[in-house]
Amino acid sequence: MPVYNISHETVYCYSCPVAVSQHLAHLLPRPVNRQHWRKHKLEISPTPTMVQERTDIFGNRPITFSIEEEHLQFSIKASGQVEVGNELLPETSLSWEDAAERLVTPQDEEDLEAAAFAFPSPMVCFDDAISNYVSDIFTPGRPLLSAALELNSRIFEEFTYVPASTRIGTMPPEILRERHGVCQDFAHFMAACLRSRGLACRYISGYLLTKPPEGQEKLVGADATHAWISVYLPSHGWVELDPTNNLVVGDEHIIVAWGRDFSDVSPLKGVIMGGGPHTVNVAVSVEPLP
């Protein structure tokens, strides 16, 4: 199993002092079967007056904290070392119709928990255009895994990755019309396609090992957070797919949190008093150990 050193630092620089700030962060890694964190720490500056960790409804470990001293710069850095493995794909799966029916009439606790991910959410809506987009993939009686893999490939082939081409609140119908976006957009769009068929789909936030262009050295801090999805296969569990890269997720994807969409697992958000115009810099590094 490969082992990675992870570093994720966010720095805000304000044009005038911030008197008080309150933040919510999803930067503490959640427990996941296929990965084991050997160590992890969170560094916040200025030192918060209050820090509170909890477990949310999805099993993530968000923290809330407040900074009550005047400051012109704020930084938060998550770092750690994680061991990551693969999960095997099943050889067969239920038809997509039978899988959808299991969410309507759950047969076990896992079905019941998965059903929460089969509905529209704040950043994943769907309409007739999205349903029609996958009508030739989700044909009668087709195994769910086969259909999900084809959808994963189709999004990769028909949509173009364009950095900074969308905003955080871009919704799936707009992504379908424009046919471009970033990993968050493609994960939201794939979730919308699956949920339009009554299927359960999680949005996953984490990190991905990236490789520099041939002949170039990898720059420290040049990686980014990543997003992908997992689809629920009754009687098997969840299968992770990455439509941005047309991958069945393996040991180069590191999970931090999952929810219905980005709004459930945003790495960092908050409210400040003061600050004025500001700049934000994010540096992420995923480095494999020898």
Residue 53 inside a domain? The answer is yes
> Which are the contacts of 82, defined by CB distance < 8 A and separation ≥ 6?
3, 4, 6, 29, 35, 36, 37, 38, 40, 254
Orientation of helix 183-195 relative to helix 144-158, angle to 10°: 140
- Summary mean pLDDT of the chain: 94
Domain identity same for 108 and 173? yes
Residues 165-184 pLDDT 10s: 898 889 999 999 999 999 99
Domain identity same for 145 and 272? no
pLDDT category at 97 given cuts 50, 70, 90 is very high
Q: In the chain, helix, strand, coil percent, each to 5?
A: 20, 40, 35
Q: Is this prediction's pTM over 0.85?
A: yes
Domain identity same for 104 and 50? no
Domain identity same for 108 and 33? no
**Residue ranges making up the domain that contains 136:** 96-264
Count up the domains in the chain and report the number. 2
The CATH number assigned to the domain holding 246 equals 3.10.620.30
Residue 91 inside a domain? The answer is no
In this predicted structure, what is the pLDDT of residue 165?
Answer: 87
Domain identity same for 222 and 108? yes
pLDDT category at 219 given cuts 50, 70, 90 is low
